[in-house]
Chains A and B, each alone.
Chain A
Amino acid sequence: AQTIHQWPVAEIKAVGSPLSLGCTIKGKSSPNLYWYWQATGGTLQQLFYSITVGQVESVVQLNLSASRPKDDQFILSTEKLLLSHSGFYLCAWNQNNQAPLFGEGTRLSVL
């Protein structure tokens, strides 16, 4: 069975500090991968998607970057956090005509 794992579960970071969030898919090869951001109590906004290793497309950057170093791994990062980066970050995956399926998310608080 396919599993999606996001890490860490939660982070508390200072403004101006770096950030790295991870997402791993197990049990599938060559999945499409997605990053979404959800402001507290708000809707979801797609940030990035990746169809293949080494290729990432930006939808809305929000001063963040993403990378896909391995087939099963998607990384979201920034060198300097802003207060506005606080929220809930969700990774999702799909293949073929399947609807995107989501991980459990990472809650980020920037202080």
Chain B
Amino acid sequence: NAGVTQTPKFRVLKTGQSMTLLCAQDMNHEYMYWYRQDPGMGLRLIHYSVGEGTTAKGEVPDGYNVSRLKKQNFLLGLESAAPSQTSVYFCASSYVGTGGGQPQHFGDGTRLSIL
């Protein structure tokens, strides 16, 4: 049971390059999320999706785009990478439930460095 899988695990980019981070979950979850974690800060929500074909902006969406063409996959794109986007990126998924107590299941993260 893989849970939530993120690829790649590490990547170094040059300023201005583009790339896509892939998140795949095998738990048939409706909700999927992308977060970034920076030193001294909690996880901050970039974008999220409440179902296949839907996406919405989170707290820090600028510079990122997302797509959810299939229920199990949630892609995070950087069109023109900037050094400020150096971070650890986490993908998470969860069931739709009554109340906000549904736990999120996280991938192991992608460590991205922008030079």
Q: Do A and B bind each other?
A: no
Using a CB–CB cutoff of 8 Å, the interface residues on chain B facing chain A are none
Using a CB–CB cutoff of 8 Å, the interface residues on chain A facing chain B are none
